[in-house]
Structure 1
Amino acid sequence: MQDLAPMRRALISVSDKTGLVDLGKALAARGVELLSTGGTSKALRDAGLEVKDVSEITNFPEMMDGRVKTLHPMVHGGLLALRDNGTHIQAMQEHGIPEIDLLVVNLYPFEAALARGAEYDEMIENIDIGGPAMIRASAKNHGFTTTIVDVEDYDALLAELEANDGKTTYGFRQKMAQNAYARTAAYDAAVSNWMAGAAGVETPRRRAFAGEIKQTLRYGENPHQQAAFYVDGGNRPGVSNFEQHQGKELSYNNINDTDAAFELVSEFLPKDGPACAIIKHANPCGVSRGETLKEAYQRAFDCDRTSAFGGIIALNQILDAETALAITEIFTEVVIAPGADDAAKEIFAKKKNLRLLTTPGLANAASAGLAFKQVSGGLLVQDRDNGMMTFEDLKVVTKVAPTQQELEDLLFAWKVAKHVKSNAIVYAKNGATVGIGAGQMSRVDSTRIAARKSQDMADVLGLKEPTVMGSVVASDAFFPFPDGLLTAAEAGATAVIQPGGSMRDDEVIKAADEAGLAMVFTGQRHFRH
């Protein structure tokens, strides 16, 4: 290992040609010999640069449609040789292996092909072999060689050479080596996860996850925790690919809550009418549909105005001026929507601390995907909860059947309950939540808390009775005893939606019949921890 390593020869082979010519010119101006392959070599030559093809070093032509070109001892010997090891130097001299001091490689665009849904054969052809092999070799030998795998690091490389008279420091090479191994790890993770899906392997023996940094955060959930936001390269609309129009940088908690809000509102398709979700600490405090976006927001706000203060608002349609005006009447951290018109942006511009995010669309609530959670010593991995219900899926289990309005509200409440922390209870009426109980150890407690919030809002709104009167209620899991169901009935609920499946279902159904409730079973639960 040496601190300052000279730069005499560079091997450049890139799929992404961004910045390639400028880099090549800067290296050539320092007297660095350029080795290259295929399209990279052509691009450099077209720019008037002198380039030596790798085939001139290996004395072996590219073959098999480019599958074999750099997998050769003349290349890997030049990358791996220890410059302070006499045996290595002797081997290089005996076999005419040239030293390679700089490797610049970015890989075949496998992730891009995956994101656009390429067919199987195209995906296979986008699996890079020679690139990762060279990257790993060069990075291993970072005591002497410099490895660049990202276009974003070209300027840093040139600055390093400028500061050190055409040499790189050990610290720089070490950082680039770490980045190189992270890149090949992320690449292999993308390939292995895709292949697991293509082969129908639901629980592969090894599962790799990777991400690319999108944002370094000021801190995590609390100021003493360091944090960063990484994205996995997927094209699912949401917090990974928003456009921020104004407001200060998002925090860890902002991102977490905004994701929860957007995933919830994405349950409601724009074609079915405006919808709004307001989130506080990853739980909904108000969700509603409406004739207009403003009405949807106002009805969601009226579910729990106290909790909505400083919350996150998600909309399922393009934000308009009328809704924007209503939102600015209280302090809001973030608004996320699939677009915003110019008038709305102008209104929000007067609220400098309000973040406005727009996305390329709504997330597909029914789409497949993985969700994972860290536990001590490992990861819990599961399918995303994309369970959906229709009227036809519901089973009426009581003597009284729900009315059409109750059925609509039951399905609405069920969609919301899916996004409420367990134990979850959601009261809803006329397409709006009127009470939400979340995250309690007892389902009865969640039922009581939701009803109490309804009473509190009735007092705020000057109503004679709690908003929960005449509502329906959704429970994310079955009622194990009649007490929770009867508590909801006492609060004013007239119809219930729950998964069913308890050993005491018959007892719970009997209690519902005696209370005059209508109840439907879904056969599907929505625990959310």
Structure 2
Amino acid sequence: MQLRYGTNPQQAAAHAAPVTHGRWPVRVLHGQPSFINMLDALNAWQLVREASQSLGRPAAASFKHVSPAGAAVSGPVDDVTAELYGVAGDRVSALTSAYLRARDADPKSSYGDFAAVSHPVDTELAELLTSVVCDGIVAPGYAPGTVATLGKKKNGRFLVLESDETFVPPPCEEREVFGLRLTQDRDQVQLSAALLGHTVGGALPGTAAEDLMLGLAVLRYTQSNSVCYVRDGMTLGIGAGQQSRVDCTRLAGAKVDTWWLRRHPAVRGLAFRQGVRRQERINWQIRFIEGDLTPDETTRLAQALSTPAEELTIDQRERWRQRLTGVAFASDGALPFRDNVDHAHRHGVEYIAEPGGSIRSDEVEAACREHRITLARTGFRLFHH
């Protein structure tokens, strides 16, 4: 398969080929993918397939630069998400709800994403995708007419890939770096609730166990170091690719705060003028939440609004943040210090899954007991590079 270009446009010669027996894990139904498009599609498809198989519900992911910006299984679409995307939240299909919930985890980062869903694309999801800024989708099938609908996006450049649900990759995988070929066994351990069987500090409710399972599936296909905050079957914040795990925890925690504050009455009350596009509204909401607007930004925000914005004080932010509870937190590697637990607790975390085995695991466990967090030691690392 001739690719549009490599990782960067100056890497003009790029192609893809099946490893064995001429069998492809995906096929192109429309468009011409780039090198990064293929990496996004292959990682995203594995994530949603594994999440759906583990939890028994349709799953979706919104990928950017080979890591998910958000992921979710089907479930309720709240009023904030429904209003943003102009849908009736209680009437959308299960597959559409999964993608809406995945995209709303970090809608700023999902701008220009690559979408993945675990089930065949229906007409409703295809119509939704035509209204958002998205570069392509991978799915195991498409309802009649949906490929033609999607193919009109981006002046005909929208990518439509179909995954092969029966494809089994070879037991070994290879990659070449600077003239060196590296080979390893493929990680084939199945994600199951048995990984969460060893807990300290309390038992895991069923919903928390499902959230942690989704978190583990997300981490398996997120650039390490990585952590993930999950609640009600959807990610609230994903931290990827940080050299320090606590920096990853803080970065993802800040995304959780932004997601939660977008539900604050002061933010929901921002009345934008007609003609202000969805992504501009999202970006202004987030800048308003972050605070410390420059004089120029304050002026431009006022011009985008039909009525003045209500003040959102530091005290209001903190009181609202304390209302967030029931959050699950998963880590792809062992928590090396208790500071990860302390930071996670500030974002409503009540359940943690991590491999364990660090030299300070006793301190991590003590921190969980102090914060009344149930800790599950999986004994299973999920690094992804």
Give the TM-score band, short-chain normalised: 0.7 to 0.9
Taking structure 1 as the reference length, what is the TM-score of the superposition? 0.55
CA 368–390 in structure 1, closer or farther in 2 if over 3 Å, else same: farther
SS in 2 for 1:307: coil
Q: Could you tell me which amino acid in structure 1 is paired with residue 252 of structure 2?
A: A
Does 2:304 correspond to 1:448? no
Residues 8-407 of structure 1 mapped to structure 2, 5 A cutoff: 214-215=1-2, 217-234=3-20, 240-247=24-31, 249-269=32-52, 272-291=56-75, 292-351=94-153, 352-361=156-165, 369-407=171-209
The question of whether the paired residues in 1 share the 8 Å contact of 2:129 and 2:150 is answered with no
- How many percent of aligned residue pairs carry the same amino acid? 33
Return the alpha-carbon distance in structure 2 between the equivalents of residues 236 and 361 of structure 1: 16
Return the alpha-carbon distance in structure 2 between the equivalents of residues 316 and 223 of structure 1: 30
Matched positions, count: 310
CA 235–341 in structure 1, closer or farther in 2 if over 3 Å, else same: farther
| Structure 1 residue 495 displacement after superposition | 0.3
Does 2:336 correspond to 1:480? yes
Return the alpha-carbon distance in structure 1 between the equivalents of residues 22 and 142 of structure 2: 19
Return the alpha-carbon distance in structure 2 between the equivalents of residues 226 and 343 of structure 1: 33
SS in 1 for 2:69: strand
Return the alpha-carbon distance in structure 2 between the equivalents of residues 523 and 268 of structure 1: 19
Return the alpha-carbon distance in structure 2 between the equivalents of residues 236 and 430 of structure 1: 41
Q: Could you tell me which amino acid in structure 2 is paired with residue 424 of structure 1?
A: S
CA 259–227 in structure 1, closer or farther in 2 if over 3 Å, else same: farther
The question of whether the paired residues in 2 share the 8 Å contact of 1:334 and 1:354 is answered with yes
Return the alpha-carbon distance in structure 2 between the equivalents of residues 513 and 460 of structure 1: 31
| Structure 1 residue 233 displacement after superposition | 4.4
Task: State the match for 1:522 in structure 2.
Answer: 378
CA 459–227 in structure 1, closer or farther in 2 if over 3 Å, else same: farther
Return the alpha-carbon distance in structure 1 between the equivalents of residues 71 and 170 of structure 2: 24
CA 402–256 in structure 1, closer or farther in 2 if over 3 Å, else same: same
Does 2:367 correspond to 1:511? yes
SS in 2 for 1:524: coil
Return the alpha-carbon distance in structure 2 between the equivalents of residues 236 and 437 of structure 1: 36
CA 471–490 in structure 1, closer or farther in 2 if over 3 Å, else same: same
CA 526–235 in structure 1, closer or farther in 2 if over 3 Å, else same: farther
| Structure 1 residue 395 displacement after superposition | 3.8
| Structure 1 residue 506 displacement after superposition | 1.2
Taking structure 2 as the reference length, what is the TM-score of the superposition? 0.75
Write out per-residue CA displacement over residues 31-90 of structure 1, whole angstroms, 9 at most, x where no aligned residue: xxxxxxxxxxxxxxxxxxxxxxxxxxxxxxxxxxxxxxxxxxxxxxxxxxxxxxxxxxxx
| Structure 1 residue 307 displacement after superposition | 1.1
| Structure 1 residue 459 displacement after superposition | 3.8
CA 355–398 in structure 1, closer or farther in 2 if over 3 Å, else same: same
SS in 2 for 1:386: coil
SS in 1 for 2:50: coil
Structure 1: 5+ residue stretches without partners:
1-213
The question of whether the paired residues in 2 share the 8 Å contact of 1:457 and 1:467 is answered with no
Q: Could you tell me which amino acid in structure 2 is paired with residue 411 of structure 1?
A: M
Q: What is the alpha-carbon root mean square deviation over aligned residues?
A: 2.3
Task: State the match for 1:422 in structure 2.
Answer: 224
The question of whether the paired residues in 2 share the 8 Å contact of 1:455 and 1:467 is answered with no
Return the alpha-carbon distance in structure 1 between the equivalents of residues 166 and 133 of structure 2: 25
Return the alpha-carbon distance in structure 1 between the equivalents of residues 162 and 71 of structure 2: 19
Return the alpha-carbon distance in structure 1 between the equivalents of residues 21 and 97 of structure 2: 31
| Structure 1 residue 241 displacement after superposition | 4.6
Please tell me whether Structure 1 or Structure 2 has the larger radius of gyration of its CA atoms.
Answer: 1
The question of whether the paired residues in 2 share the 8 Å contact of 1:305 and 1:457 is answered with no
The question of whether the paired residues in 2 share the 8 Å contact of 1:455 and 1:466 is answered with no
| Structure 1 residue 465 displacement after superposition | 4.2
